[in-house]
Amino acid sequence: MTEDEIIQAIRERYPAGERPPTAPPEAVAEVEAVVGHPMPPLLKRIYLEVADGGFGRWGEALSLADPEAGFRYSDADLLLVEYRGWRRVPGYPPSVVPLLTWGCAIWSLVDFSTPEGRMWGWDPNARCPHHGEALFPEEFTLAERLQGWLGGEAVFPAAPDASSYCTED
């Protein structure tokens, strides 16, 4: 699917009135400034053209702006609040930003340092057996992950073999 097709499919899956309004450009700029990397273009388009959260798996992508308007699609906090919490995890890569929670402490995250939005997973049940790391890169881009969600796939983030992502000896 092209980016335009993904955006159209999200609009169709979550019709106007059932999704939050778009994010204000200032909220996107604030996230980019705090993270220190531009938001991947597809994600930026979704937030600015479709909805401020409320898309993705079970419609639970985090919001950027204050959800006082009555839109709250995740049991997690605003994206920047969650990101600042993640930044306190030792060794956490500053370009990796939480996108949505799967429940049971499992998360999907997006790497802002990659234009395609390389996906990362967090699963404390799939820790590196040698170092306890629960964060791992996935083999998906944001576009691929969104296409899966739009197609009804609920594939949990799956840690690869520890030797392929655990960087410490």
The span from the CA of 114 to the CA of 36, in Å, is: 12
Give the 3-state secondary structure of 16-45. CCCCCCCCCHHHHHHHHHHHCCCCCHHHHH
Whether residue 35 contacts residue 73, with contact meaning beta carbons closer than 8 Å, is answered with no
Q: pTM of the full predicted structure?
A: 0.85
pLDDT digits (tens, 9 = 90+) for 36-75: 999 999 999 999 999 998 887 766 788 898 665 544 555 6
Residue located via tokens 């919001």: 63
- Model pLDDT, residue 65: 87
